Amino acid sequence: MKKNIITQGLIGLFTILMFGMTLSLAQPARADGRTDAALQLLLTMKLARTLDNAIEQMMENQIKEHPAMAPYREVVRRFIAKYMGWEILKNDFVRIYSEEFTEKELRDMIAFYSTPTGAKAIEKIPILIAKGTALGIQHFQQNMAELAKLIQAEKDREKNKQK
């Protein structure tokens, strides 16, 4: 049971940490101005700091939810730093942004995130993501009994179909 709670906590932490992003292993970064603009955008967004803060916040939330993880805090922190820190992910984030946005769009976002409202958005986005994720988890957990019933009904239906 303890191992399961720890595993669930780590999975939850990883899911939240990645902000719902998936890293594509496809094409290398573009050679046009997008790569430079994407990096400039990520630096303007202070993504390194935001990533570190999100890691800390999510670790604390997971430990509150799964106190059995507390003794492993430093192990998890080192693991995350080794595989999911800014220096490890920076080039992947640059590639992702340069694949999804034109150079003009990236430059427009840089201009926005350089404003006071943009700076506030940078500050609040991880909090909003964490709150939204927690809300989704809460609703899922509150309705797991219904899901279990639906799965059992499907199992029963399949079993009867085979007879």
Q: Assign 86 to helix, strand or coil.
A: helix
∠ Cα 12 10 120 (to 5°): 50
Report pTM. 0.61
Average pLDDT over residues 134-153: 92
pLDDT band of residue 27 (cuts 50, 70, 90) is very low
pLDDT of residue 5: 53
| DSSP, res 46 | T
Cβ–Cβ under 8 Å, residues 139 and 66: no
Cβ–Cβ under 8 Å, residues 134 and 65: no
Residues of the chain with pLDDT > 70: what percent?
81
How many Cβ atoms are within 10 Å of 93's Cβ, its own excluded? 20
Residue pLDDT, tens place only, 105-123: 999 999 999 999 999 998 8
Rounded to whole angstroms, the Cα distance separating 90 from 47 reads 9
Reading the block at residue 146, the tokens are 């219904």
